[in-house]
């Protein structure tokens, strides 16, 4: 399942997508993110799932533009070089902007 966390407002689309079928529950993104936007949660959409999956905390989901700002191109990062995307082995994390 693809979970989209974030929002759309007058200044653009700010969504982080997590592919829960790819996410193996390792938690490396939680460690890697300098803004602490990720957490590991029980997979609420699959009652049979054994491992936890990554999710964006509700605190950060409504301010992603600002939480993720320090890692964005304007701050000298390439999109593929984002700490969370680099940390994710199974390639489950995507950014819309």
Partner 1 sequence: MAEVEKGAEYWRWTESRWTNPEMDWKDGEVVSAGVDVGSVSTQAAVMVDGKLYCYSSMRTGSNSPESANNAMKWALEGTGLTIDDLHATVGTGYGRVNVPFAAKAITEIACHARGGNFMYGPGVRTILDMGGQDCKAIHCDERGKVKAFLMNDKCAAGTGRGMEVFADLLGVHINDVGEMSLQVEEEPPPVSSTCVVFAKSEASGLLRQGWPKEKVLAAYCSAMAHRVVTLLERIGVEPEFAITGGIAKNPGVTNRLADELGVKLAKTDMDTQIAGALGAALFARALYLKKIKGKK
Residues forming contacts to partner 1 in the complex (CB under 8 A) are 1-4, 7-10, 13, 15, 44-47, 62, 96
41: left (phi over 0), alpha (psi -120 to 50) or beta: beta
* Residue 22 vs 83, nearer CB to partner 1: 22
* Residue 31 vs 46, nearer CB to partner 1: 46
Task: Please provide residue 9's backbone torsions phi and psi, each rounded to the nearest 5 degrees.
Answer: -140, -170
Q: How far is the CB of 76 from partner 1 (least distance, A)?
A: 27
Q: How far is the CB of 4 from partner 1 (least distance, A)?
A: 4
Tokens 């999956």 sit at which residue?
Answer: 53
* Residue 2 vs 81, nearer CB to partner 1: 2
Under a CB-based contact definition with an 8 Å cutoff, are residues 92 and 23 in contact? yes
């Amino acid at each position: 399942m693809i979970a989209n966390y974030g929002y759309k407002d007058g200044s653009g689309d700010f969504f982080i997508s997590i592919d829960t079928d790819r996410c193996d529950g390792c938690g490396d993104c939680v460690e890697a993110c300098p803004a602490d936007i990720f957490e590991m949660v029980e997979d609420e959409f699959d009652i049979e799932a054994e491992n936890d999956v990554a999710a964006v905390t509700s605190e950060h989901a409504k301010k992603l533009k600002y939480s993720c700002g320090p890692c964005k191109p304007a701050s000298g990062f390439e999109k593929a070089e984002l700490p969370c995307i680099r940390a994710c082995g199974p390639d489950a994390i995507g950014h819309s902007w």
